[in-house]
């Protein structure tokens, strides 16, 4: 709890896990937390991207490590969480950012429904696995900050269809609220950030005309930047947000307001 704004957003010596923290929005969050003094453990799968992220973070002066982690594998998640505790001594902040998307009409999916199950397992179950594992550590400590990165798609339907993604993000919004209610007595804050269109590795693959078309639909007139999502994550990770829990904060330049 803060009693003034002096150092209200300081995260000095806090230990944060960021899933998918090596690129895009995840790296924006990793950077923002590190700039406020946090030590960052990045959970991801690709060594090349992880090492590049660590090189960029190094000048900020904290301790930054990466852990090869598949968030669909419970035992892998458990091993990575244990490794972070062994390396850093504790975990103060968990950012569930790792995710995938699945596009296309549901009735056109192959009968194995691979895309549906993969999206749900990564975006929703992956976050739950980490919440379960890290939540136990935070309960023992008597405090902690969990930040789930969802999407404005959790409250509306994308065009073209991204039904599995929408459903997974809606489920993560609800999980955020349920865990906030359940874990409030342990002083574990659970909140969500719901970004809209944001510059990232994924968005850069889209044709320029697609971004131009989508930008015209955003009242503020531009895509978000990963560091802007990171700025909101800093607030939710800091003592300034101690009384906020169960919130889903949309950050999309007003895109979803008329939808």
- What is the rounded CA–CA span in Å between residue 249 and residue 247? 6
Q: Is residue 49 part of a domain?
A: yes
Q: Is residue 10 part of a domain?
A: no
- 76 phi-psi bin (left φ>0, alpha ψ -120 to 50, beta other): alpha
Q: Is residue 54 part of a domain?
A: yes
Q: Is residue 257 part of a domain?
A: no
Please choose, from the candidates 165, 199, 236, the residue with its C-alpha nearest in 3D space to the C-alpha of residue 25: 199
Q: Is residue 122 part of a domain?
A: yes
Burial (CB count within 10 angstroms: exposed 0-12, middle 13-18, buried 19+), residue 59: exposed
Query: Total structural domains in the chain?
Result: 1
* Residues 34-55 pLDDT 10s: 999 999 999 999 999 999 999 9
What values do phi and psi take at 245, rounded to 5?
Answer: -155, 145
What CATH code is carried by the domain that includes residue 43?
3.40.50.720
| Pairing verdict, β 188-195 and 144-149 | parallel
Residues of the chain scoring pLDDT < 50: none
pLDDT at 207: 84
Q: Is residue 233 part of a domain?
A: yes
Q: Is residue 258 part of a domain?
A: no
* Residues 71-92 pLDDT 10s: 999 999 999 999 999 999 999 9
Q: Is residue 5 part of a domain?
A: no
Catalytic residues: 151, 165, 169
Question: What residues make up the domain containing 230?
Answer: 15-252
pLDDT at 259: 81
């Amino acid at each position: 709890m803060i009693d003034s704004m002096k150092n209200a957003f300081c995260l000095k010596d806090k230990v944060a896990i960021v899933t998918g923290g090596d690129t895009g929005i995840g790296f924006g969050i990793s950077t923002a937390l590190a700039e406020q003094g946090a030590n960052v453990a990045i959970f991801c799968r690709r060594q090349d991207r992880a090492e590049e992220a660590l090189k960029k973070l190094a000048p900020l002066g904290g301790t930054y490590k990466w852990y090869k982690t598949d968030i669909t594998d419970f035992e892998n998640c458990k091993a990575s969480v244990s490794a972070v505790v062994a390396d850093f001594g504790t975990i103060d902040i968990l950012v569930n950012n790792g995710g995938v998307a699945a596009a296309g009409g549901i009735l056109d999916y192959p009968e194995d429904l691979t895309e549906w199950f993969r999206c749900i397992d990564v975006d929703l179950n992956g976050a739950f696995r980490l919440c379960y594992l890290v939540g136990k550590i935070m309960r023992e400590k008597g405090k902690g900050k969990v930040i789930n990165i969802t999407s404005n798609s959790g409250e509306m339907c994308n065009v073209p269809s991204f039904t599995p993604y929408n459903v997974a993000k809606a489920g993560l919004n609800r999980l955020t609220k349920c865990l906030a209610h359940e874990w409030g007595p342990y002083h574990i804050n659970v909140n969500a950030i719901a970004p809209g269109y944001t510059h990232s590795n994924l968005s850069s693959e889209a044709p320029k005309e697609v971004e131009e078309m989508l930008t015209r639909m955003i009242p503020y007139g531009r895509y978000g930047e990963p560091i802007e999502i990171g700025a909101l994550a800093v607030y939710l990770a800091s003592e300034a947000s101690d009384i906020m829990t169960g919130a889903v904060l949309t950050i999309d330049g007003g895109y979803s307001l008329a939808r």
